[in-house]
Amino acid sequence: MRATALERDPYPSRVEPCPRLIPRADPVVWQTDRRPARLSETEIAYYDANGYLILNDVFSEQETRVLAQVGEHALALAGIDPETVVREPDSQAVRSIFEVHRQVPEFDALARDSRLVEVAHDLLADQVYIHQSRLNYKPGFEGRDFWWHSDFETWHIEDGMPRMRALSMSILLADNLVSNGPLLLINGSHKHYVTCVGETPAEHYKQSLRKQDYGVPERSLIAELSQQGIRAATAKAGSVVVFDCNILHGSGSNISPFHRSNLFLVYNSLKNRCVAPYGGLPPRPQHIANRACIEPL
């Protein structure tokens, strides 16, 4: 008997005419024999149920001030590879800088900080490496929205990440306020894989990082999953937002005068390294999806 598409790949997407919800086939919190090193059992249970965790005051005011200065220097693009810079769709304002941990020594050190790595170990129960890093910036009055999406859907289809054994950490380099376009997370949406419609064009990443048109969930499914509530991840600078690779998230435009600056680090399990993209296209560039520098932290 021929294997079905779902048996060959538990997370197909962009191959069917209608979207659907597929129950998650992987744990949220992977099992480990050792006691958690950084998180409490209560925090782990909250992450398992909701798909995210906000850790306040991880970094001191002095540490945060230095990191913010490093971020401002990076945004000036001195010594930054132009290929890693993404601009806003309707202006030349910097939207994102990718692979910042390879270009900025202070961010490389931050990616190895035990306060972050031990959290990843607690939740993924394996050694981890950086799959992707980026500095996302929303200048006052100019920072545009990031539409609803699951990172894993893109990483699976366009990068070849096999399973849901990765997570993101957003290190807040500036206060994330209700008014300046904070990260929005749909509670519990990580428990479902939301398939998307539409064949992915070649080199789609060149446009999608500015404004995504493929790998976008249908509004009806977003509305259905949002019945559990939407959380605005507001916190002061120095805090860290940890969120599952599959949770639906996005953010609104920043129409306030206050900038938002967040450093994103994606930790992936060593057992979950990327293979050939499941969407059939060539993999995205190294600065977007790390394949060549698999270094356990």
Mean pLDDT of the chain: 91
Q: What is the dihedral of CA 24, 228, 151, 99, to 10 degrees?
A: -130
Please tell me the predicted confidence (pLDDT) of residue 88: 81
Structural domains of the chain, count: 1
> pLDDT digit string (tens) for 59-117?
999 999 999 999 999 999 989 999 999 988 777 788 999 999 999 999 999 999 999 99
Assign 4 a pLDDT band (cuts: 50, 70, 90): very low
Give the C-alpha distances (Å, rounded to integers) separating 153 from 10, 165, 190: 12, 13, 11
Closest CA to 272 of 167, 169, 166, 152: 166
| pLDDT over 70, % of the chain | 92
Tell me, yes or no, whether 279 lies in a domain. no
Q: Look up residue 86 and give its two tokens.
A: 């993404």
User: From CA 262, how far away is CA 169, in angstroms rounded?
Assistant: 10
CA 218 – CA 206 distance, rounded (Å)? 22
Kindly report the pTM of this predicted structure. 0.92
CA dist., res. 277 & res. 14, Å (int): 13
Q: pLDDT band at 205, cuts 50/70/90?
A: low
**Of 86, 114, 87, nearest to 99 (Cα)?**
86
CB distance 173 to 64 below 8 Å: yes
Q: Name 53's bridge partners.
A: 242
Residue keyed to tokens 């149920």: 49
Q: Which of 263, 34, 25, 282 is nearest to 130 (CA)?
A: 263
Whether 18 is covered by a domain: the verdict is yes
> Is it the case that residue 214 has pLDDT exceeding 70?
no
Q: Which amino acid, one-letter code, is at 244?
A: D
Cross-strand bridge partners of residue 21: 194
User: Cα separation of 198 and 18, whole Å?
Assistant: 9
Q: What are phi and psi of 174, to 5 degrees?
A: -145, 160
| Residue 30 counted as domain residue | no
Question: What confidence tier does 3 reach under pLDDT thresholds 50, 70, 90?
Answer: very low
pLDDT digits (tens, 9 = 90+) for 236-272: 999 999 999 999 999 999 999 999 999 999 999 999 9
Can you give the CATH number for the domain in which 83 is found? 2.60.120.620
DSSP letter (8 states) at residue 279: T
Span 107-133, mean pLDDT? 97
Per-residue pLDDT at 210: 44
Residue span of the structural domain in which 76 resides:
5-24+42-272
Inform me whether the pLDDT recorded for 211 exceeds 50. Answer: no
pLDDT band at 32 (very low <50, low <70, confident <90, very high): confident
The candidate with the shortest Cα–Cα distance to 84, out of 93, 96, 76, 73, is 96
For residue 152, being part of any structural domain is answered with yes
Structural domain contains residue 150: yes
Write down the pLDDT at residue 285: 95
Average pLDDT over residues 280-291: 94
